[in-house]
Amino acid sequence: MSNIQDKVVIITGASSGIGEETAKELSSKGAKLVLAARREERLKEIADNLNNNNGEAVYKSTDVTSAKEMEELAKFAHEKFGQIDAIVNNAGLMPLSYLNKQKIEEWDKMIDVNIKGVLYGISAVLPYMRERKQGHIINLSSVAGHVVFPGSAVYSGTKFAVRAITDGLRMEESQESNIRATIISPGAVSTELTSTITDDDVKSGVDDLYQMAIKPDSIARTVRFALEEPAEVAVNEIVVRPTNQTM
């Protein structure tokens, strides 16, 4: 029996890409899933498909930039299943641009989703996990959270922040509450992320890079690996790139 069997896992950004594939992967191992994103129709479709294949999934339309909605999501998960074993803070945006383009609205959105969304997810589940003195928080960073390149200044800033926040969480909660914290940093992955890039000077280079993009199910298997380890083992950080990606 998989160590994931019957674990209650919240997944944000679950309506496509890495989130959707993670839902499929964890469902196949017996997890009870709470799917969250803004696109309710897509969530319903994914949950229905999982449930029709002997899975157990519910969903709730959620905006991760709202602390209130994230608290409501955690409450919903707890009311449905009686516990919260893990959260995968996967929702993210990547509208890369050069700073001189002054795309301030895009910067704000990245900060709201990529940083605040992760913080709100952590805050929402911590009380439930601390009460049980167990739990697992998995946050999606990026290779751009390890290295900065032209056009990635703000995006990299948000992903460096995710790594810092997650490591701080690990140090604060691992001994006191036995809560595990994992950072997963994908490289180029075939998802909808690049569709948010509006700076044409950056987009052409990114499109070239993403010709080697790996499928999101590779990241889903990475999430599964971290979750499957026994409670006394914490997989703290993993970087997953296409073999040919140098940065």
Residues paired with 189 in a beta bridge:
214
In single-letter form, the type of residue at position 199 comes to: D
Neighbours of 207 (CB within 10 A): 11
Torsions phi, psi of 188, nearest 5? -70, 115
Length, in residues, of the chain: 247
| 241 vs 230: CA distance, rounded Å | 25
Q: Are strands 135-140 and 179-186 parallel, antiparallel or unpaired?
A: parallel
- For 100-161, the DSSP string reads GG--HHHHHHHIIIIIIHHHHHHHHHHHHHHHHT-EEEEEE--GGGT---TT-HHHHHHHHH
- For 163-215, the DSSP string reads HHHHHHHHHHHHHHH-EEEEEEEE-SBSSSGGGG---HHHHHHHHHHGGGPBP
Tokens of 181: 């914290």
64 and 125 Cβ atoms separated by less than 8 Å: no
Catalytic choice (59, 120, 128, 155): 155
Neighbours of 115 (CB within 10 A): 20
* 155 in catalytic set: yes
Positions annotated as catalytic residues are: 155
